[in-house]
Amino acid sequence: RPALRYGHAGFAKRGEDYFLVKPDCLRVPGDPSTAFSVFAVFDGHNGVSAAVFSKEHLLEHVMSALPPDIGSREDWLQVGDSRCILDTQGGELQLLTVDHRLEENVEERERVTASGGEVGRLNVGPLRCWPGGLCLSRSIGDMDVGEYIVPVPHVKQLSSVGGRLIMASDGIWDALSNEAAAKSCRGLPAELAAKLVVKV
């Protein structure tokens, strides 16, 4: 298992973002060869209920759904507009998430309209899905906006290239490019890098 160093920091004015940091999980209790880590950001944009529930229950639900022969694959799951990048040891940036904002994702707009949802804009602001008016196409906990907004995650399998993961909610990414975030973290200890990204 590769060396793992991590840090996390938060600065949310409304307190709707929650984090899950579990570096020492076991797929098979008592078997260190099945060790894995879980890191998650939950952006509670419609109140904190779904974010808190997801933080408290996501891992147990994912673990109960995994096939027993999953092995040591490196997978990435995501819904919403939080983002994760991998700054590889060679300095290459890999985007590990898909932006589920309707404004940014043509495929998701097409999926929503093909399912019977309407995508449109008010006089100002981003594209939204109707009914409900949500600007995301995938979300956890927005059951009042209709069946077009789904909680089905985007899943990506990673290679074992190594590097630094930078995960943050849209509040960071709306202000900071992938390149700027990676550059500001390079060469720094994980905890300091996390605090610096939030501060920038």
190-199 vs 178-185: helix crossing angle, rounded to 10: 140
Whether 109 and 127 have beta carbons less than 8 Å apart is answered as yes
Rounded Cα distance, 13 and 57, in Å: 25
Mean pLDDT of 100-126: 92
Amino acid sitting at position 181: A
What is the count of structural domains for the chain? 1
- Answer yes or no: is 99 within a domain: yes
Checking if the pLDDT of 106 tops 90, the result is yes
pTM: predicted TM-score of the whole model, two decimal places? 0.75
Residue 47 lies in a domain: yes
Within-domain flag for 133: yes
| Cα 34 to Cα 1: distance, rounded to the nearest angstrom | 10
Q: Which structural domain range is residue 129 located in?
A: 17-199
- Asked whether residue 154 is assigned to any structural domain, the reply reads yes
Least confident of 28-42, 69-83, 128-142: 69-83
Strand spans (E) along the chain:
17-26, 35-43, 74-78, 83-88, 93-95, 118-120, 128-130, 154-158, 163-168
Q: Which residues does 187 contact at the CB level (< 8 Å), separation at least 6?
A: none
pLDDT tens digit sequence for 142-200: 777 778 888 888 887 776 677 888 888 888 888 899 999 999 888 898 889 888 888 76
7 domain-assigned: no
- φ/ψ region of 61 (left if φ > 0, alpha if ψ in -120 to 50, else beta) reads alpha
Q: Tell me, what CATH number does 23's domain have?
A: 3.60.40.10
Asked whether residue 6 is domain-assigned, the answer is no
Q: Could you tell me the pLDDT band of residue 73, with boundaries at 50, 70 and 90?
A: low
28: phi then psi, degrees, rounded to nearest 5: -115, 115
- For residue 108, give the DSSP letter: H
Would you say the C-alpha torsion 104, 41, 159, 155 has a positive or negative sign?
Answer: negative
Judge whether 132 lies within some domain.
Answer: yes
Quick check: is 100 in a domain?
yes
